Amino acid sequence: MNTENKDIYASRTVVSREMKKITDIFNRRMNESLNKAITREIILLFIIDYIFIHPFSDGNGRVGAILSDLLCYECNVKPFYFYKIRKIDRKGLDIALNEFRANQNITPFYEFIEKYSN
């Protein structure tokens, strides 16, 4: 676990409730999705929420990376390849995630991901 971020993760007492909440939001948004670009953004927002809930004591990044690509494949959209990005620039990914969380602006985070998603 990244101890720098431990105070921004969900407490263990709310993980189950928070996971249900983001899953419900994800399912509702996916049912309303109009195109692949919106679908991909919905998946990205879900994964970001998942990472900050931090449901496991270890392996959240790896599970999130696999889950994001699985959801992309299932929806027939371009994967994010978070696992590859984590191997190349984990510090940059952590910074981008934290900046998104602080500013709620997806654009810089999305641009960071896209430079590695080829």
pLDDT one-digit tens code per residue, 22-40:
999 999 999 999 899 999 9
Could you say which architecture CATH assigns to the domain 3-114? Orthogonal Bundle (1.10)
Cβ distance 69 to 82 under 8 Å?
yes
- Please tell me the number of Cα atoms within 13 Å of 112 on its side-chain side: 22
**Is the pTM above the cut of 0.85?**
no
| 63/50 Cα distance (integer angstroms) | 10
Supply 116's token pair: 């590695």
pLDDT tens-place string over residues 41-79: 999 999 988 988 887 777 788 888 999 999 999 999 999
